[in-house]
Amino acid sequence: MSESSSQPVGRPGIFDTQSFLRKFIPFSSRFQSATKSGMGYDLLAVFGNANTPTSFAIALGQIPSRYVQQGATVGGVVFASTTNIAAWTATSITLQATVAGTYRLWLG
C-alpha cells in the first residue's frame, strides 16, 4: 500500500514553506527599523569638510566592528583613524572622508 504525498518525486521538502523561508531569508530578532537589519546598519553619512572627524548617531545596538563604503555622491573615500575607532560606541561612530560629500555606508 503506497501513501500519497504532496511532495514531487525527487524534490522532498519543496512545499515546506517555513523551511524554505528560513533557508533563503535571514531572520533576526534585531530587525527593528527600515535602516537596521539583524546583519548591520545602513548609514547615509554627510561630511561637510574633508579630513575632519565627524560623528554620526547610529542604532546598531552594539559597537560596530567594521564599515563598508557602498556608494558616494563624490569621488572620495571614508576612513577612520585609530583615534576615531577608539571613540565608537553603540550609539555613535566617528569617521572622516577625503572629500566632503554624501556617502552610503554599511556598519556591522
Query: Domains of the chain: which residue ranges?
Result: 33-107
- Eight-state DSSP code of residue 81: -
Task: Output the pLDDT for position 84.
Answer: 94
pLDDT at residue 78, as a whole number: 97
**Confidence (pLDDT) at 61:** 83
**pLDDT of the residue at 28:** 43
Q: How crowded is residue 78: how many other Cβ atoms within 10 Å of its Cβ? A: 20
Which H or E element spans position 30?
none
Lookup: cell for 18: 517555513
Three-state secondary-structure class, residue 106: strand
Which residue intervals of 1-108 are DSSP H helices?
17-24, 82-86
* 19: phi then psi, degrees, rounded to nearest 5: -65, -40
Regions in the chain scoring below 50 on pLDDT: 1, 27-34
Report the pLDDT value the prediction gives residue 40, as an integer from 0 to 100: 83
